[in-house]
């Protein structure tokens, strides 16, 4: 009788035979997949625009959104991780067919946004090398495909997202230091904000947990074989640190732009973020921006493709080969559409935002229902009521986000 693949071994058995270094790599991979999925082209654009609009007061919105993000992500990771089942499978057990509705919403929204991610890689290569953005987008898509086609795709993906995340944070810290931001003023605004902008808070929150992003890390950790009540400490720690990684990137990017704005520079042109990096560090800064933007975009391509396909496949019934080719196909379709269209059309992006906005409260609502009422799906684990309660409060905000995402679609008609 042959030994089953490691991915099919029971989580507790797999955990007991793994080396600590392997488990750390898997946990880091899941954390950085979630973080780098959130840090995409939209993340950079949002952060720049709100910093220009609100100045140092944006610090308050960032901190509040990070706290709410933690409350939601901890609940999502714990329910998925303890149950050992993906979000769509849990949805189908709560209400037959609900999981498939979640899958359709997520995959449609993920595909359209992935067109924007591929477009972002192309724009990154413009700042780095002056390449035609379509050529840069195609070359970047081929790199992403090569990662998934490699012999040890899971290991390669984990390592790549960790490296990309570290590069983005490191380069942005350098630019932030160069721009000399008013850190004291920003720190004061965390406690006593000059302006509280609820739209900024909800927009930033939606950008960091919307659509596939909220499930990216939890599904990756699950596929790595880390699940079950006995892994609750690892699961919780991973969710919190993953959110904090995203928060660190948001803060240093905010400080980089704030320093430029506070210095009196005018950020004009179609790409304010690129202008900010150039104003802070000249041509070197512009090249650094290209690297950061490309890294943010290609990591989002990886995260969107991997997580979207995880909603179309089964952990136990779908072969690794089939999953790989589905991911490759997802990236290829996104790239072909980008090259054909030239850019992600506004109307499609609005509809994708509506899909993701609808998905957010439905998906999180299902997981919170399980936390409150379905101990049978959690292997008898008694879920902390206080954690489910604070998660529910944060969930109410996602309902507001859903309403905000639907309004633009209605206005189109």
DSSP string, 286-318: HHHHHHHHHHHHHHHHHHHHHHHHHTTS-TTTS
Confidence of residue 264 (pLDDT cuts 50, 70, 90): confident
Q: Is residue 14 part of a domain?
A: no
315 φ, ψ (degrees, to nearest 5):
-65, -35
Confidence of residue 354 (pLDDT cuts 50, 70, 90): low
Q: How far apart are CA 142 and CA 134, in angstroms?
A: 12
Q: Is residue 329 part of a domain?
A: yes
Confidence of residue 134 (pLDDT cuts 50, 70, 90): very high
Whether 349 shows a pLDDT value over 90: the answer reads no
Confidence of residue 79 (pLDDT cuts 50, 70, 90): very high
> 228's torsion region: left (phi>0), alpha (psi -120 to 50) or beta?
left
Question: What's the predicted TM-score (pTM) here?
Answer: 0.89
Work out how many domains the chain is built from and give that number. Answer: 1
For the CA atoms of 246, 250, 255, 256, the dihedral, rounded to the nearest 10 degrees, stands at: 100
Percent of the chain with pLDDT over 70: 89
Helix, strand, or coil (residue 154): helix
**Residue, of 356 and 50, whose pLDDT is higher:** 50
The secondary structure element, H or E, covering residue 188 is: helix 183-191
Whether 97 shows a pLDDT value over 50: the answer reads yes
Q: Is residue 8 part of a domain?
A: no
Among 35-44, 89-98, 179-188, 282-291, name the one with the lowest average pLDDT: 35-44
Q: How far apart are CA 33 and CA 44, in angstroms?
A: 17
- Among candidate residues 298, 308, 402, 321, the one with its CA nearest the CA of residue 358: 402
Q: Are 229 and 379 in contact (CB under 8 A)?
A: yes
- Among candidate residues 199, 176, 222, the one with its CA nearest the CA of residue 79: 222
Q: What is the mean pLDDT of the chain?
A: 87
Rg, C-alpha atoms of the chain: 21
Res 41: pLDDT: 85
The mean pLDDT of 367-387, rounded to a whole number, is: 95
Q: Is residue 324 part of a domain?
A: yes
Contacts of residue 78, defined as CB under 8 A and 6 or more positions apart, other chains included, come to 232, 235, 236, 239, 371, 383, 387
Q: Is residue 249 part of a domain?
A: yes
Res 351: pLDDT: 62
Q: Please count the other Cβ atoms lying within 10 Å of the Cβ belonging to residue 135.
A: 14
**Residue, of 185 and 352, whose pLDDT is higher:** 185
User: What residues make up the domain containing 334?
Assistant: 19-412
Confidence of residue 59 (pLDDT cuts 50, 70, 90): very high
Res 13: pLDDT: 46
Q: Are 262 and 182 in contact (CB under 8 A)?
A: yes
DSSP 376-408: GGGTT----HHHHHHHHHHHHHHHHHHHHHHHH
- Among candidate residues 90, 28, 2, the one with its CA nearest the CA of residue 224: 28
Per-residue pLDDT reduced to its tens digit, 159-200: 999 999 999 999 999 999 999 999 999 999 999 999 888 878
Q: Is residue 333 part of a domain?
A: yes
Q: How far apart are CA 274 and CA 288, in angstroms?
A: 9
CATH number of the structural domain spanning residue 95:
1.10.4160.10
Q: Is residue 109 part of a domain?
A: yes
Q: Is residue 7 part of a domain?
A: no
- Token pair 């509809």 in the structure block, residue: 351
Q: Please count the other Cβ atoms lying within 10 Å of the Cβ belonging to residue 180.
A: 14
Res 202: pLDDT: 80
The mean pLDDT of 397-409, rounded to a whole number, is: 72
For the CA atoms of 125, 107, 85, 34, the dihedral, rounded to the nearest 10 degrees, stands at: 30
Res 350: pLDDT: 57
- State the angle between helix axes of 41-54 and 272-310 in degrees (0 to 180), rounded to the nearest 10: 140
Q: How far apart are CA 95 and CA 366, in angstroms?
A: 9
Whether 7 shows a pLDDT value over 80: the answer reads no
Q: How far apart are CA 124 and CA 126, in angstroms?
A: 5
Q: How far apart are CA 16 and CA 19, in angstroms?
A: 8
Per-residue pLDDT reduced to its tens digit, 211-234: 888 999 999 999 988 999 999 999
């Amino acid at each position: 009788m042959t030994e089953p693949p490691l991915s099919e071994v029971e989580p507790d058995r797999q955990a007991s035979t793994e080396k600590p270094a392997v488990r750390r790599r898997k946990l880091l991979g899941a954390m950085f997949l979630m973080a780098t999925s959130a840090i995409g082209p939209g993340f950079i654009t949002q952060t720049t625009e709100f910093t220009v609009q609100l100045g140092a007061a944006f610090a308050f919105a960032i901190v509040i959104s990070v706290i709410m993000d933690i409350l939601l992500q901890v609940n999502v990771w714990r329910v998925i991780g303890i149950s050992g089942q993906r979000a769509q499978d849990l949805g189908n057990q709560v209400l037959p067919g609900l999981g498939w509705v979640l899958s359709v919403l997520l995959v449609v929204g993920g595909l359209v946004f992935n067109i924007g991610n591929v477009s972002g890689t192309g724009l990154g290569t413009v700042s780095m090398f002056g390449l035609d953005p379509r050529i840069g987008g195609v070359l970047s898509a081929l790199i992403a495909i090569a990662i998934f086609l490699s012999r040890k795709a899971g290991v390669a993906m984990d390592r790549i997202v960790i490296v990309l995340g570290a590069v983005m944070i490191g380069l942005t810290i350098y630019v932030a230091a160069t721009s000399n931001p008013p850190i004291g003023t920003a720190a004061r605004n965390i406690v006593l904000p000059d302006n509280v902008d609820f739209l900024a808070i909800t927009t930033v929150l939606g950008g960091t947990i919307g659509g596939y992003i909220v499930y990216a890390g939890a599904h990756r950790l699950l596929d790595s074989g880390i699940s079950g009540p006995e892994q609750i400490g690892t699961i919780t720690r991973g969710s919190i640190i993953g959110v904090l990684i995203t928060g660190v990137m948001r803060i240093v990017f905010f400080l980089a732009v704030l320093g430029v704005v506070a210095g009196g520079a005018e950020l004009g042109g179609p790409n304010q973020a690129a202008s900010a990096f150039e104003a802070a560090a000249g041509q070197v800064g512009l090249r650094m921006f290209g690297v950061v933007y490309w890294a943010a975009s290609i990591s989002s391509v990886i995260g969107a493709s991997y997580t979207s396909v995880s909603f179309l496949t089964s952990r136990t019934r779908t072969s690794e080969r089939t999953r790989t080719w589905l991911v490759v196909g997802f990236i290829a379709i996104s790239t072909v559409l980008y090259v054909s269209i030239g850019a992600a059309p506004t109307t499609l992006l609005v509809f994708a935002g509506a899909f993701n906005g609808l998905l957010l409260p439905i998906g999180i609502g299902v997981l919170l229902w399980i936390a409150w009422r379905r101990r049978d799906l959690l292997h008898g684990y008694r879920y902390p009521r206080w954690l489910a309660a604070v998660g529910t409060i944060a969930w109410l905000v996602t309902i507001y986000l859903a309403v905000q995402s639907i309004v633009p679609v209605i206005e189109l008609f």
